[in-house]
Structure 1
Amino acid sequence: MSRLMIFDSTLRDGNHAVKHQLSASNIKKYCQAMDGSGVKTIIVGHGNGLGASSLQVGLAALDERTMLQTAKANLEKTRLGVYMIPGFGTIEDNLKPAIADGAEVFEIGCHCTEADTTREHIEFLRNQGKETYGVLMMTHMASPERLLEECQKMQSYGALGVILMDSAGAFTMERVRWVISRLYNGLDIHIGFHPHNNMGIAVANACIAIEEGADIIDGTLRGFGAGAGNCQLEDLVALLEKSGKRTGINFYRMLDASEKVMPELMNKDMGQDPISIVSGQAGVFSAFRTHVINAARAFEVDPRDILVEVGKRKAVGGQEDMVVEIAKQLSCSTNNDSLSYQLSSLL
């Protein structure tokens, strides 16, 4: 296995968990605590990436240039990274300003069957000499063969690696082994994995991905992220080190940041609850959680029923309006006196 690279998305995916309200002080303190800890890159920004701050998916407390400039001013040894989904962000409005603000590592993401949409952006960044990775989201929705085809496209565009996002926390351990081994045997670039923890196996899935050839793991401290959260980096590093695998991480430095800084960022502990578990089973994007809870309350329907229906319709990020439509339809056919779920317990 190549040397493992840890990408830290605490200040990006974690923004989902607090409705994109991370402050400049949060970013400053976190970057100071984690700079030089051994993580390769700290990804910063709105939960959905550059250009995504909006009423539909959530307005960020800070504009993205302030976020990036704040992070850059407090990073000396660790690289500043950004994430962008074409359509939310553009080259002119977002990538060029991010370069100007000091971003060094770029993740360009898309739905798992739409790598074509990233070509212009990956090629632009590589022509600028930037370290660039392709990202496929909602990867439980495609076969290993199709995922390999999409990754090969990104490789041909010049991406230095590809990162698979288990955006819904729907991967079983067997699927991780099946998919990552297929990519490892079919690609000549780095392979990464970004697991979510809806069914409580994000760390285990990350370890299996590493065993099968992945050399990038994208996670967060305390698992801070959308839905049930991400692969908890402290747990992952502890397990890898105990297993005799060198990570290059200053483990005590990471633990200090987890203990001293993370309580200021988080408004609740991450973990599995009934909503997260059903979301993982149904294959629903973790960031839909708040929309589902709000719609369930508004229309007095079971949020689990909404998730199951959203999963059947294979909704992806950007289709949050579908949640309200489904809740409204369910309200017309549900006996409101026999709800099986207490909405107040989800808050």
Structure 2
Amino acid sequence: MNTSKVKIFDTTLRDGTQGEGVSLTVKDKLKIAQKLDEYGIDYIEGGWPGSNPKDEEFFQEIKKISLKNSEIVAFSSTKRHGIKAQDDPNIVKLLYSGVKTVTIFAKSWDFHVTDALGISLDDNLKLIADTVSFLKKHGIEVFFDGEHFFDGFNHNPNYALKTLEVARDSGASIAILCDTNGGQTTKRMREIIKVVKEKLNMPLGIHAHNDSGLAVANSIIAFEEGIEQIQGTVGGLGERCGNADLCTIIPILKFKYDIDLPKINLEKTTHLYNYVMEVANITPDNRKPFVGRSAFTHKGGIHVSAILKNPLTYEHIAPELVGNERRILVSELAGKSNLKSKIEELGFSLSSFSDDQIKKLTLKIKEYEHDGYQFEGADASLKLLLLREFFDYNPDFQIENFNILSYNFGEGTTTDAAVKVRINDEMVHTVASGDGPVNALDKALRKALENHFPILRNMKLIDYKVRVLDSASGTAAKVRVLIETSDTEKSWTTVGVSTNIIQASWKALIDSIEYGLYANLPSKIENIYN
């Protein structure tokens, strides 16, 4: 095992919140901080106490929570020009935040000093020295962020280095080299870090942005050159194109460099990613390395055949190591290997299917997909298809009919849905209003079923996607609807296809409820398999 030491610094709660579409409440930030602590992050940058009341409240509330692995860090710029550090409210609030460590950033690019701040280069150095030394006198450890360091080094290397030297001599314990604009190539990154290490006797860290798609690569290059702290965010959240993604960096350090990360719970990496995306109300990226839903997903028949013999044929690590899972897709590109593996993945025994049935099922799936269905993202609908075709499966309810009515009131529109449902020998007729036809149908159907199946109250529709399959047909185009539903423990996806968007949605909606009832009623499952 490589004994190289590197600390992981998470800035999801600060730099990550600067990303477009990211907004976290104080409660959100507290929940994420606890999850980061459980995962084993060394440092959690909680925010900038002097910038807004929300961050001030966070630092007061986090004091009440006992963290096991992580240290909370506050963030700030240097003091303002023209006043003393003790008179700058932003600096004073760092002291009241209750943290033991702060990150102070300052301009390392002379262009920013003269054109953005409008002060002299010497004045900027004084801001650094006064701020760092003031905090050190109050017993605070200081991490120094050299903002725009690499751009500054390219333009004026002597001055960029001087900002780090002043921070070091004033008491900063580590200098973080920031690729703030995210424009450095890996070659240039390595060259500059080598020079800095030769010139500066001080621990170094890296803070990379992803504007050139190189944030992870540059962070790994910095590690190879001996930096001691890597900064980033969960999922790469952050301003513009985001920050370096810790959910990629950490597994790389562990599995590609054999780095000992004793506090990190690698098997919780996927859970951490999905949790933060859920709290931030962001749809997870299926193609994220290591943690994405597609990261260990196999579709091509040749690939699947090989995977079933030995997963190393098409997987660089076992998905379980990062808490992910292997998925085998069924589509028009798939062969028998895919289908057999998928049948087992869905919980069926292959012994229940004859060779003729496998052939029949393969053809049927390809026919469905020719019509526009897509089962690779809708396992629940695929499972229901198998149950309907080969098992004595009957749903717990039958839809007799439904009706949609919309009313326009100026700029507003109200939609009513009426459904008639047969449950055993009872006919139930309900009406509900909603925001659009799908929402109204969902409410009306649930209203009809919930008294008979209370478990439906734990299920909710969490995602709804529509794709036009043949846009050349205009308003008569066929559409595919995918609906994702969740209960308290899991989620599932169903699909519907039609030239009528309401009909396609209705098919997916009925499947979602049928599957939810099927999966949550043990007696039903036992009857089907027996």
Take 1:176 and 1:40, find their aligned partners in 2: how far apart are those partners? 24
- Give the corresponding residue for 1:67: 58
Q: Between Structure 1 and Structure 2, which shows a larger proportion of strand residues?
A: 2
- Quick check: which has more Rg, 1 or 2? 2
Pairwise mapping of residues 2-151 of structure 1 onto structure 2 (< 5 A)? 3-18=5-20, 21-45=23-47, 49-53=48-52, 62-77=53-68, 78-87=70-79, 91=86, 92-113=88-109, 114-143=124-153, 144-151=157-164
Cα distance change on mapping 1:231 and 1:198 into 2, 3 Å: same
What is the alpha-carbon distance in structure 2 between the residues aligned to residue 106 and residue 205 of structure 1? Answer: 24
Give the structure 2 partner of residue 306 of structure 1: none
CA separation in 2, counterparts of 1:190 and 1:40?
16
Query: Deviation at 1:72?
Result: 3.2
Contact 1:72 1:80 in 2 (8 A): no
**2:302 equivalent in structure 1:** none
Structure 2: how far apart are the matches of 1:104 and 1:227? 30
Q: Specify whether residues 71 and 20 from structure 1 end up closer, same or farther in structure 2 by C-alpha distance, changes over 3 A only.
A: farther
SS for the counterpart of 1:185 is helix
Distance change (3 Å), C-alpha of 1:118 and 1:105: same
1:246 lines up with 2:238 in the alignment:
no
Q: Percent identity?
A: 26
**Contact 1:108–1:135 (CA<8 Å) still a contact in 2?**
yes
Conserved 8 A contact 1:139-1:165: yes
Alignment of 1:1-347 (within 5 A): 3-18=5-20, 21-45=23-47, 49-53=48-52, 62-77=53-68, 78-87=70-79, 91=86, 92-113=88-109, 114-143=124-153, 144-243=157-256, 244-248=258-262, 249-267=264-282
Contact 1:15 1:22 in 2 (8 A): yes
* CA RMSD, 1 decimal: 2.4
Counterpart-to-counterpart distance in 1, 2:4 and 2:164? 19
For 1:253 and 1:72, the matched residues in 2 are separated by 25
Unaligned runs of 5+ in 1: 54-61, 272-347
Runs (4+) off by over 6 Å: none
CA displacement at 1:75 relative to structure 2: 4.7
State the alpha-carbon separation in 2 of the partners of residues 20 and 65 from structure 1.
19
Contact (CA 8 Å) 1:195, 1:219: kept in 2 or not?
A: yes
Letter in 1 for 2:259: K
- CA–CA separation in structure 2 for the residues paired with 1:75 and 1:220: 22
Cα distance in 2 for residues equivalent to 1:236 and 1:88: 35
Whether the 8 Å contact between 2:79 and 2:131 is mirrored in structure 1 is no
C-alpha change, 1:20 and 1:241, in structure 2 (3 Å) is: closer
Displacement after TM superposition at 1:205 (Å): 0.3
Letter in 2 for 1:29: K
Q: CA deviation at 1:33?
A: 0.9
Say whether the 8 Å CA contact 2:50–2:93 is kept in structure 1: no
Paired residues of 1:18 and 1:267 also in contact (CA < 8 A): no
Superimposed CA distance per residue, residues 125-179 of structure 1 (whole angstroms, 9 cap, x where no aligned partner): 1112221111111223322443222211111111101011111111111121011
| Distance (whole Å) between structure 2 residues aligned to residue 264 and residue 96 of structure 1 | 31
Secondary structure at the counterpart of residue 39 of structure 2? coil
Q: How far apart in 2 are the matches of 1:253 and 1:176?
A: 31
- Does the Cα contact within 8 Å between 2:9 and 2:230 map onto a contact in 1? yes
Q: Which has the higher contact order (CA 8 A, sep 6+)?
A: 1
* Cα contact 2:75–2:104 (8 A) shared by 1: yes
Distance 1:155 1:255 in 2: 37
Report the count of equivalent residues.
Answer: 260
Q: Which amino acid aligns with 1:94?
A: N
Q: Residue deviations 1:202-231, cap 9 Å, x none? A: 111001001112111110000011111111
Q: Which amino acid aligns with 1:32?
A: Q
What secondary structure, in the 3-state scheme, does the structure 2 residue paired with 1:10 have? coil
Deviations 1:242-271 (A, max 9, x none): 121223322223432212233221546689
Asked whether the 8 Å contact 1:85–1:110 carries over to 2, the reply is: yes
CA spacing shift, 1:67–1:5, aligned 2, 3 Å? same
Change (3 A) 1:228 1:175: same
Whether the 8 Å contact between 1:223 and 1:270 is mirrored in structure 2 is: no
Q: Aligned in 2, Cα 1:145/1:252: closer, same or farther, shift over 3 Å?
A: farther
Give unpaired runs (5+ residues) of structure 2. 110-123, 287-530
From the superposition, tell whether residues 177 and 266 of structure 1 become closer, same or farther in structure 2 (CA, over 3 Å): farther
Rounded to whole Å, the distance in 1 between the matches of 2:212 and 2:218 is 11
Amino acid at match of 2:50: G
Contact in 2 for aligned 1:148/1:182 (Cα 8 Å): no
- Report the CA distance between 1:236 and its aligned residue: 0.3
Report the alpha carbon displacement of residue 106 of structure 1 after superposing the two structures with TM: 0.7
Superposition TM-score, scaled by structure 2 size? 0.46
Distance in 2, matches of 1:180 and 1:75, equals 37
Instruction: Output the CA distance in 2 between the equivalents of 1:74 and 1:88.
Output: 32
Is 1:50–1:88's contact at 8 Å kept on the other side of the alignment? Answer: no
Evaluate the alpha carbon distance shift between residue 26 and residue 214 of structure 1 in structure 2; reply closer, same or farther with a 3 A threshold: same
- The worse-fitting range, judged by mean Cα deviation, of 223-232 and 142-151 is 142-151
Deviation string for 1:262-314 (max 9, x for gaps)?
3221546689xxxxxxxxxxxxxxxxxxxxxxxxxxxxxxxxxxxxxxxxxxx
Segment drifting more, 29-38 vs 155-164: 29-38
The amino acid that maps onto 2:103 is: E
More moved, 28-37 vs 225-234: 28-37
Maintained 8 Å contact 1:224/1:266:
no
